[in-house]
Structure 1
């Protein structure tokens, strides 16, 4: 099991947002009546919230407004824009944003992954109802999401928060050679998920050749969702492949693409497995 990390979501704005703490809190109370402000002030002060239910007694959710800092646009940010398959407008919208609100959980690492994800989604949604943003950057999944798309989906996914936009992102890479020079003339493909590792779950990956990558995407997405639901990708040592009666074995190993983390590697059958493995 991976060590969980702080979960951070960045809400991006073209113009300075106006935040009403009382409105945010009212929306949070619609989700759960035991939401309260950390500082006891419903109208002003810190945008920090807690819950009184014992499961959440240590956790805090904090929103921090700030001018947008281009120095924070790291490699993960750039990659997110390049792989924004579901929202092609992300690059142009993000380039116009001058302000942001960073939403993070504190002391929430011990919460179950799905519950923790749901909580951060509720805080993000509550803020967006009060101060709509222009783009959302989910740092855990390295993905940019349309705020309208997120809000349209999030409230209907109470029991399945991993299905909400931004929770899981499937990346695609082209692998042209290996360090030892083997297969240097072949172009293999690598697909992996991002979004689970931050919550203490392993991501999934598949390194393959000779298969349309778009056939692998739903397989990996289903495997990632199953990890959220059950803590594993399948009941046995194999998952259903892309054709009826086909089974692909899986095992834990280190990721091929950054960030370095433990993943569940799913190896295709029928001569489509790629890479140099033990």
Structure 2
């Protein structure tokens, strides 16, 4: 991870909405045709189990994922997976702040944004009633179906997290099924705090599953270690449906590795960096900034 020297102003106008739609933008150099209904049903069924196609025309397609059932007041309903027809895409709409955190695509980012002028948007609906694990699995299976259905896709942008992946990174991945959501759809960001030696690492993307993001305000530790800890923490929250209570402790790090002998305290706080949302703030003991640390360095 290269440290960025750009200076950004805070903008807390946009508030993250927990449980909002999971939205992917598939990017293309040339206009992409919607696959025929039979082809789409075949691929979607193989990836997600039985589906019902309730919409397929020049404007897009919609499928009910029948293996999943969201629980609402009026009963259980299958979530819907929606795919739009091809539309224009403008990479210039992404600002420097957004681009600075696209760690998985730094070398290809500008080329992708310059060459890709078309997009297909895909999202889930009526999925809020699924458990976090179920929704994560469904959305990642949906992603796998999409990149198979659209062989000309150049990259995928995950809107909730701001992650951009070249298509080869998705098609060639060896990520275990249960780890895909955190890998593809959760972003661990890194910032220097201007005028100080402090750093900040946080995640974005967990709110889609009604789970909290995590945040670290610190100094004196390799930020790559902290990013790894953030991803481990995000996976733990997803795997265990967030058992963390205010004031609980978690395993800290020593020499870049998790260490049970070191305990870091967790507090629910407002995020220090946009978007506005509640996060689990991890106090890193002697490495914590903001006069929160205790004890001696280990």
Short-chain TM bin? 0.7 to 0.9
1:67 and 2:87 aligned: yes
Secondary structure in structure 2 of the residue aligned to 1:4: coil
Name stretches of at least 5 consecutive residues in structure 1 with no aligned partner.
177-184
Aligned to 1:29: 45
Residues 99/224 of structure 1: CA separation in 2 closer, same or farther (3 Å cut) = same
Aligned to 2:30: 15
Secondary structure in structure 2 of the residue aligned to 1:153: coil
Instruction: Please say if residues 90 and 117 of structure 2, whose CA atoms lie closer than 8 Å, have aligned partners that are also in contact.
Output: no
Q: How does 1:1-278 map to 2 (within 5 A)?
A: 3-21=18-36, 22-39=38-55, 46-53=60-67, 55-56=69-70, 57-70=77-90, 73-75=93-95, 78-88=96-106, 89-132=108-151, 133-153=153-173, 157-164=176-183, 166-176=184-194, 185-232=195-242, 237-243=248-254, 244=259, 245-270=261-286, 272-275=287-290
Aligned to 2:73: none
Higher strand share: 2
Instruction: Please say if residues 92 and 113 of structure 2, whose CA atoms lie closer than 8 Å, have aligned partners that are also in contact.
Output: no
Instruction: Please say if residues 81 and 144 of structure 1, whose CA atoms lie closer than 8 Å, have aligned partners that are also in contact.
Output: no
User: Which contiguous aligned blocks of 4+ residues in structure 1 show a shift greater than 6 angstroms?
Assistant: none
Measured in 1, the distance between the counterparts of 2:110 and 2:223 equals 23
Residues 70/46 of structure 1: CA separation in 2 closer, same or farther (3 Å cut) = closer
Residues 10/276 of structure 1: CA separation in 2 closer, same or farther (3 Å cut) = farther
Aligned length: 261
Instruction: Please say if residues 50 and 61 of structure 1, whose CA atoms lie closer than 8 Å, have aligned partners that are also in contact.
Output: yes
Measured in 1, the distance between the counterparts of 2:47 and 2:60 equals 20
Measured in 1, the distance between the counterparts of 2:118 and 2:97 equals 21
Measured in 2, the distance between the counterparts of 1:93 and 1:32 equals 29
TM-score by length of 1: 0.84
How large is the RMSD of aligned CA atoms in angstroms? 2.5
Instruction: Please say if residues 24 and 129 of structure 1, whose CA atoms lie closer than 8 Å, have aligned partners that are also in contact.
Output: no
